Structure 1
Amino acid sequence: MPAFVTLQPRFPFGGLTFSSRVDALIRQDLLDPLPYVRRHICGDWGDVRAEHRRYNDAALELGGYLLSSYTICDGLDLCIFTEADRGLTAVFLLDEY
């Protein structure tokens, strides 16, 4: 029987908002951002650099914003940003930043 690991959220993410370009990709069935949002709130920061990974880990304990980035395919990078007060999480494309 395979062992399953259940990732638990590590912080509240407040409201969830999508940029207009992410929303357009969702409506065209070209992108499902929810698995990446789940990874983000479970502390899987994706493809961010090591120093930003350390910043995120510290921000979980000390407060501060959280930023994740995930390469979906060549030329398409999804970013997820949670405000320091955890009131809002925004999903956008890297080139919109």
Structure 2
Amino acid sequence: MQNAVKKPVGVLKFKLGAVVMTRGVSELMKEHGLEPIQYLRRHAHGDWGDLSDQDKATNEDAVIHGGRIFSAYNLSDMPESRLWVITEADRSVTTFLLPSEY
């Protein structure tokens, strides 16, 4: 059973730039009826997902001082059980990808 996702509200923590996804993510989303917007909202509001405390602190620092921002979300009961969302340091693009596509 998947955990309910809280819908963040308020101002985004950082600019996302263009939002793109790999073919693998697109196929996974369609196949399993997932909505990428729920993960994008979490990422943009500082819910970094399933990361270590150190990685979360690195993201918080990147928001303030610039740097790449990385989130990881576990997708239970799926062949690819993890989704990555990465915003580039220059905030030009945010990419959805699977670890196997990195």
TM-score normalised by L of structure 1 = 0.86
Count of aligned positions:
94
CA distance change for structure 1 residues 7 and 20 in 2, over 3 Å: closer, same or farther?
same
The one-letter code of the counterpart of 1:76 is: S
1:63-82 equivalences in 2 (<5 Å): 63-74=66-77, 75-82=80-87
Gaps of 5+ in 1: none
- Cα RMSD (Å): 1.8
Corresponding residue number in structure 1 for 2:24:
21
Cα deviation 1:23-58 (Å, max 9, x = unaligned): 112333532221011100101100011111110000
Bigger radius of gyration among the two? 1
Gaps of 5+ in 2: 1-6
Q: How far apart in 1 are the matches of 2:32 and 2:12?
A: 26
Structure in which a larger fraction of residues adopt strand:
1
Corresponding residue number in structure 2 for 1:45:
48
Task: Give me the identity figure in percent.
Answer: 34
Cα deviation 1:4-39 (Å, max 9, x = unaligned): 972431111000110111111233353222101110
